[in-house]
Amino acid sequence: MTTLRLQDEIRDALADGHPVVALESTVIAHGLPHPANLETATAMEQEIRRHGAVPATIAVMNGVPCIGLSASEMERLALEDNIRKCSRRDLPIACARGETGATTVAATMILADMAGIRIFATGGIGGVHRGPAMDISSDLHELASHPLGVVCAGAKAILDLPATLEVLETFGVPVIGYGTDTFPAFFTRSSGLPVDTVCRTPDEAAAIMISRDRLGFRQAVLITVPLPDDVAIDRETAGRAIEQALKEADERGVKGKDITPFLLGRVDELTGHASLKANISLLLQNARVAALTASALARASRGG
């Protein structure tokens, strides 16, 4: 078994049944520009603490999977440009070669589950890409087999959202709309596509996770939160920027693990950085909802 490095505070919280929220690191290394990446990662940790939970940012540092990072480790992920983007297939390579890697939603779920963490906050999950090339994020595959609650703003709008929801259905992942009856599309509040159920409180969301556990299911529960109204980008503006970014990606032959960072970066430039502002705001909101849900889950578990 690979040994995880767990920060003492996180180990104690897990042992005592206190709420813990996992955070990914690809958003730091590949998702947001410097210095917004470091500021946002730090602010997410603070937001989680403010709402009564312990943050656990996850990454591979010098070949060691780490649950909880020091300030200087976060800074390394935010500054260095040779950080490997780690999904499941990359973890054995990064560990064997002593590399430092940022974990995607997929790899973060794997490591969080190994550590016994039950709630994870991120921006937008990966999904089925548009276009003829068969590019399906391994985020979807891992959502099928780790019993976490994953708080997100839906899937990135650069994706094929109807196909993404179909795959989630096939894999048996319940999709909750947190205060909404439609699936949020990252920097727009609604994709217009229906969710499986609406929850209005953290306790309601936690109750669905508890039923999932009682049924013995291993699927994640996806808790989707629309981004705050004041930073949302309207569907037409976002749609135009996405079309343009997709066209450029195609012309330049951007593929594989590079496509998501490329599209997010171009959409940000094309929206005059409205998408960066939206991204930061939704990440903080998701951190808060995750902390509240982790607390609700901890209370429910203590109550029997």
Residue numbers of the site for ligand PSU (CB under 6 A)?
A: 24, 26-27, 30-31, 87, 104-106, 123-124, 126, 137-139, 156, 257, 260, 264, 279
- Is residue 139 within the footprint of Mn ion (CB under 5 A)? no
Smallest gap from Cβ 26 to ligand PSU, in A, equals 3
Q: Measured between alpha carbons, how far is 162 from 266 in angstroms, rounded to an integer?
A: 23
Q: Which does 124 bind (CB under 5 to 8 A by kind): ligand PSU, Mn ion, none?
A: ligand PSU
Encoding tokens for residue 196? 């499986």
Q: Measured between alpha carbons, how far is 226 from 188 in angstroms, rounded to an integer?
A: 8
Beta-strand ranges (E) seen in the chain are: 5-6, 20-23, 54-61, 64-67, 84-86, 101-103, 119-121, 149-152, 175-178, 197-199, 221-224
Three-state SS for 220?
A: coil
Encoding tokens for residue 249? 């990606």
Three-state SS for 176?
A: strand
Q: Do the Cβ atoms of 284 and 44 come closer than 8 Å? A: yes
Encoding tokens for residue 215? 């049924």
Contact residue for Mn ion among 75, 90, 135, 139 (CB under 5 A)? 135
**For residues 137 and 180, which CB has a smaller minimum distance to ligand PSU in the complex?**
137
Is 24 tagged catalytic? yes
Catalytic one among 99, 156, 204, 247? Answer: 156
Smallest gap from Cβ 15 to ligand PSU, in A, equals 28
Q: Which does 105 bind (CB under 5 to 8 A by kind): Mn ion, ligand PSU, none?
A: ligand PSU
Name the one range near Mn ion by CB under 5 A: 13-21, 51-59, 90-98, 131-139: 131-139
Smallest gap from Cβ 138 to ligand PSU, in A, equals 6
Q: Which residue is nearest to ligand PSU (CB)?
A: 31
Catalytic one among 24, 47, 75, 142? Answer: 24
**For residues 152 and 294, which CB has a smaller minimum distance to ligand PSU in the complex?**
152
Smallest gap from Cβ 290 to ligand PSU, in A, equals 15
**For residues 37 and 137, which CB has a smaller minimum distance to Mn ion in the complex?**
137
Q: Do the Cβ atoms of 64 and 27 come closer than 8 Å? A: no
Beta bridge partners of 5: 66
For the chain, percent helix, then strand, then coil, each to nearest 5? Answer: 50, 15, 30
Smallest gap from Cβ 214 to ligand PSU, in A, equals 29
**For residues 160 and 203, which CB has a smaller minimum distance to ligand PSU in the complex?**
160
Could you tell me how many residues of this chain bind Mn ion (CB under 5 A)? 1
Is 99 tagged catalytic? no
**For residues 154 and 177, which CB has a smaller minimum distance to ligand PSU in the complex?**
154
Q: Measured between alpha carbons, how far is 55 from 221 in angstroms, rounded to an integer?
A: 19
Q: Measured between alpha carbons, how far is 260 from 270 in angstroms, rounded to an integer?
A: 15
Beta bridge partners of 102: 59, 85
**For residues 135 and 268, which CB has a smaller minimum distance to Mn ion in the complex?**
135
- Is residue 90 within the footprint of Mn ion (CB under 5 A)? no
Q: Measured between alpha carbons, how far is 135 from 286 in angstroms, rounded to an integer?
A: 26
Smallest gap from Cβ 264 to ligand PSU, in A, equals 6
Three-state SS for 85?
A: strand
Give the residues lining the site for Mn ion (CB under 5 A): 135
For the annotated catalytic residues, the residue numbers are: 24, 156
